């Protein structure tokens, strides 16, 4: 089935995000790395700051030393030239106010010591790290000049203790700031981590729950079902799996658009939530497919619940101004009889669902071994249809449409037939749904248009210039590829005037009459072909739609024609349709006319055109030609 691959993908993604343990390890690794990189960055910044500050402090210190030395030098010049060493020593003694100066000495040219000063008290040894870093002491010397002559040299040795003290203070502040920064960064990262964890938890939840309906999704369903089956196996109990989809959901989605379809799914989920028990696991597998797993249920209980669900979904859902009647079909598989694994059980339920749909929808079916064969048959059908076009297994047959007053032939409805070498004659009711599901409908539609146009051309060439041929157009052909272009090409290829082509559209194609569909209909009308509304009376078409759409013809469904004039309801409906068509200026064609009585009744009512076995069965073109 086409949707299976999509679901499998979702399933895989869900599986991937279900692995929290390696995720947590990964998370811790990142945390550590974050911490390290922050610490490293702060460490580097701290080192740079400290080294820059050291350089600045050293320069400051040197500058202060130079200032002091030049002051003492200026004061000592006279003492030097007048040889007053005592006075010079007095000058140097001023350094006692600068505790960092360890010694100051004045040397005469030639290296003779003239005066000196040494700091009193025990000189503390610098710590070894200071010596290692060159931060123990600093020496400074400058010449003492008078009238451009160097009369002496002053040499200072200073202890870098004050610088070291300021440095240590600075380092303490910077390290404190760095640690504070690290603390702040850690706090921020912790918040970030919490947010990430929440996001991850959300992801895990999203991986297990359907965001649209809030129901558990396929991943959750599989895990849960595995557990339930394991429990049932251990306890020797049974379990029932109900697999269902909505009968008309595709039509709603295609005609009213996805937003309406989504709202409908929500409403359905809400409705189901009210009818199923809390202990039963209701999941949405995707699209319009739901499952209900019932622990410990036997055949009797399962069918009762299925009936319950069908009744619950039978009422119309009011969505956005539309009354949507959808209904559901249910396939039921029992554990362990119909499958002992989740996969097998789901496959069996799917086959049963298909059988329920084939049985006319709005119903439920238990799985039986024969269904596997039916599912197999459908696959064969699908594969055969793919080849049918290329192999020329498809052909068109034509059923006459006559003027019931005069009995004159006025046209044909073109119908498709498939004669498969493997399957024999396959009815459109069997293969058209398959073609619609697989997208082959576009190729089939093209084939029908081209064949019908070519055949009509032949009839025109034979001189039967009054004929109009009707071709059925599937609702699916309105979506996707260009229907208008396809019609134009078919007409051009056969060189057929458009007035000889009529397109029959089912009511479902018009449902909601989205602008897109209206545009296509207007384009077809502009092309010159006429448009008929097929199977009128059983579907959803409203009078207001009829009025604003370029529809020329109504075809009354055979179900109403079948029992007239005996059935008074059908008579009333048919009368109303004909009257309404007359009022709107539409012509009417009755389908399924089989008796003279019906013909007379309809003609008297004002329905002048008819189609049915009374006038001729659908036959190949040659047969029709012969009949005339």
Partner 1 sequence: MRLRLLRFPCLCLMLALAAPARAALGENEARAAVVYHLTLFAEWPPGSLREGHFNLCVLTENENSANALAHLNGKTVKGARLVIWRKHPMQDLGACQAVYLSEMSDPLRDRVINKLAGLPVLTIANGDIPVPGAMISLGVAGERVYFDIDLSIVQRVGLRLDAKLLRLARSIAK
Q: Report the first-to-last Cα separation within the chain, whole angstroms.
A: 46
Q: Where are the beta strands (DSSP E) in 391-481?
A: 394-403, 409-420, 424-426, 468-473
Which stretch in 145-153, 246-254, 310-318, 520-528 sits in contact with partner 1 by CB under 8 A? Answer: 145-153
Which among 433, 479, 484 has a CA at the least distance from the CA of 255?
Answer: 479
| Stretch binding partner 1 (CB under 8 A), from 111-119, 276-284, 567-575, 606-614 | 111-119
CA dist 239 and 345 (Å) reads 10
The token pair at 158 is 């200073």
For residue 231, say if its preceding peptide bond is cis, omega within 30 degrees of 0: no
Smallest gap, in angstroms, from Cβ of residue 144 to partner 1?
A: 12
Residues within window 67-106 making contact with partner 1, judged by CB under 8 A: 75, 77-79, 81-87
Minimum Å distance from CB 143 to partner 1? 16
The DSSP bridge pattern shows strands 553-556 and 587-590 to be: parallel
As measured in angstroms, the least distance from the Cβ of 96 to partner 1 is: 19
Q: Interface residues for partner 1 in 531-560 (CB under 8 A)?
A: none
Under rule CB under 8 A, residue 111 binds partner 1: no
Return phi, psi of residue 219, to 5°: -60, -45
The answer to whether 112 contacts partner 1 (rule: CB under 8 A) is yes
Q: Does 108 bind partner 1 (CB under 8 A)?
A: yes
For residue 127, give the DSSP letter. P
Report residue 14: phi and psi, to 5°.
-60, -45
Q: How many CB atoms lie within 10 A of CB 284?
A: 24
Q: Is 110 in the site for partner 1 (CB under 8 A)?
A: yes
DSSP letters, 185-250, are: HHHHHHHHHHHHHHHHHHHHHHHHB-TTT-SB-HHHHHHHHHHHHHHHHHHT--EEEEEEEETTHH
We find the least distance from the C-beta atom of residue 123 to partner 1, in angstroms, to be: 25
Q: Does 183 bind partner 1 (CB under 8 A)?
A: no
Residues paired with 416 in a beta bridge: 396
Minimum separation from the CB atom of position 109 to partner 1 (A): 10
**111, 124, 148, 463: which one contacts partner 1 (CB under 8 A)?**
148
What is the closest distance, in whole angstroms, from the C-beta atom of residue 147 to partner 1 in the complex?
5
CB environment 557-567: b (16+ within 10 A), e (fewer): bbebbbebbee
CB of 72 to partner 1, least distance (A): 12
Q: Write out the H or E segment, with its range, that includes residue 36.
A: helix 20-81
Closest to partner 1 by CB, 83 vs 406, is: 83
Q: Is 147 a binder of partner 1 (CB under 8 A)? A: yes
Rule CB under 8 A: say whether 220 interacts with partner 1.
no
In this structure, the strands spanning 289-295 and 281-286 are antiparallel
* 146 lies in the site for partner 1, by CB under 8 A: yes
Q: Kindly write out the interface string for residues 286-325 of this chain, putting x where it contacts partner 1 by CB under 8 A and - elsewhere.
A: ----------------------------------------
180: tokens are 């504070």
- Shortest gap between Cβ of 111 and partner 1 (angstroms)? 11
- Pairing state of beta strands 409-420 and 468-473? parallel
Q: Closest CB to partner 1 among 111 and 360?
A: 111
The footprint of partner 1 on this chain (CB under 8 A) covers a number of residues equal to: 19
Name the residue nearer to partner 1 (CB basis): 87 or 545: 87
- Between residues 147 and 390, which has the closer beta carbon with respect to partner 1? 147
Instruction: Please name which of 579, 586, 590 lies closest in space to residue 530, comparing C-alpha atoms.
Output: 586
Q: Which is nearer to partner 1, 6 or 143 (CB)?
A: 143
Q: Tell me: does residue 116 bind partner 1 (CB under 8 A).
A: no
* Shortest reach from residue 77's CB to partner 1, in Å: 7
CB of 173 to partner 1, least distance (A): 45
Distance CA 520, CA 531 (A): 11
Q: Which is nearer to partner 1, 87 or 587 (CB)?
A: 87
Which residue number, 152 or 251, has a Cβ lying nearer to partner 1? 152
Binding site for partner 1 (CB under 8 A): 75, 77-79, 81-87, 108, 110, 112-114, 146-148
């Amino acid at each position: 089935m086409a949707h299976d691959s999509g679901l499998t993908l979702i399933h895989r993604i869900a599986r991937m995000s279900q692995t929290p343990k390696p995720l947590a390890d990964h998370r811790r690794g990142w945390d550590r790395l974050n911490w390290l990189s922050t610490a490293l960055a702060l460490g580097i910044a701290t080192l740079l700051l400290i080294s820059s500050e050291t350089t600045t402090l050293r320069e400051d210190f040197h500058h202060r030393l130079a200032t002091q030395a030049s002051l003492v030098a200026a004061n000592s010049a006279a003492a030097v030239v007048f040889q007053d060493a005592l006075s010079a020593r007095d000058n140097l003694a001023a350094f006692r106010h600068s505790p960092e100066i360890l010694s100051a000495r004045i040397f005469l040219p030639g290296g003779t010591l003239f005066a000196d000063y040494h700091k009193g008290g025990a000189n503390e040894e610098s710590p070894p790290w200071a010596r290692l870093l060159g931060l123990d002491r600093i020496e400074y010397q400058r010449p003492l000049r008078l009238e451009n002559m160097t009369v002496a040299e002053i040499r200072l040795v200073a202890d870098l203790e004050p610088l070291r003290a300021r440095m240590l203070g600075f380092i303490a502040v910077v390290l404190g700031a760095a640690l504070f920064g690290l603390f702040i960064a850690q706090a921020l990262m912790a918040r970030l981590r919490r947010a990430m964890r929440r996001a991850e938890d959300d992801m895990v939840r999203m991986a297990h729950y359907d965001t649209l309906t809030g129901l558990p999704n396929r991943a959750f369903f599989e895990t849960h079902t595995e557990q339930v089956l394991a429990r049932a196996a251990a306890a020797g109990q049974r379990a029932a799996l109900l697999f269902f989809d909505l009968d008309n959901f595709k039509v709603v989605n295609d005609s009213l658009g996805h937003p309406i379809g989504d709202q409908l799914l929500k409403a359905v989920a809400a409705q189901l939530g009210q009818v199923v028990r809390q202990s039963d696991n209701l999941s949405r597998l995707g699209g319009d497919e739901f499952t209900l797993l019932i622990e410990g249920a036997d055949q009797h209980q399962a069918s009762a619940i299925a009936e319950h669900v069908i009744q619950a979904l039978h009422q119309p859902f009011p969505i956005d101004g539309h009354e949507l009647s959808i209904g559901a079909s249910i396939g039921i598989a029992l554990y362990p009889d119909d499958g002992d694994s989740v996969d097998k059980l789901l496959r069996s339920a799917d086959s049963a669902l298909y059988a329920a749909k084939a049985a006319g929808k709005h119903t439920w079916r238990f799985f039986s071994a024969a269904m596997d064969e039916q599912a197999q048959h459908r696959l064969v059908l699908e594969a055969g249809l793919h080849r049918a076009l290329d192999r020329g297994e498809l052909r068109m047959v034509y059923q006459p449409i006559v003027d019931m007053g005069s009995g004159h032939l006025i046209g044909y409805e073109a119908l498709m037939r498939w004669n498969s070498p493997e399957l024999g004659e396959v009815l459109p009711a069997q293969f058209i749904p398959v073609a619609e599901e697989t997208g082959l409908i576009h190729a089939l539609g093209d084939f029908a248009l081209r064949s019908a146009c070519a055949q009509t051309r032949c009839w025109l060439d034979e001189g039967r210039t009054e004929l109009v041929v009707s071709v059925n157009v599937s609702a699916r052909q309105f979506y996707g590829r260009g229907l208008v272009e396809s019609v134009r090409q078919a007409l051009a290829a056969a060189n057929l005037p458009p007035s000889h082509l009529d397109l029959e559209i089912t009511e479902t194609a018009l449902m909601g009459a989205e602008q897109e569909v209206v545009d296509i209909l207007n384009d077809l009308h502009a092309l010159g072909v006429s448009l008929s509304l097929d199977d009128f009376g059983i579907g959803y078409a409203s009078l207001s739609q009829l009025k604003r759409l370029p529809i020329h013809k109504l075809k009354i469904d055979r179900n109403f024609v079948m029992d007239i004039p005996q059935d008074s309801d059908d008579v009333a409906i048919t009368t109303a349709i004909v009257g309404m068509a007359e009022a709107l200026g539409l012509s009417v064609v009755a389908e399924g006319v089989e008796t003279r009585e019906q013909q007379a009744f309809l003609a008297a009512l004002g329905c002048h055109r008819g189609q049915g076995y009374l006038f001729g069965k659908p036959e190949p073109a040659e047969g029709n030609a012969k009949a005339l």
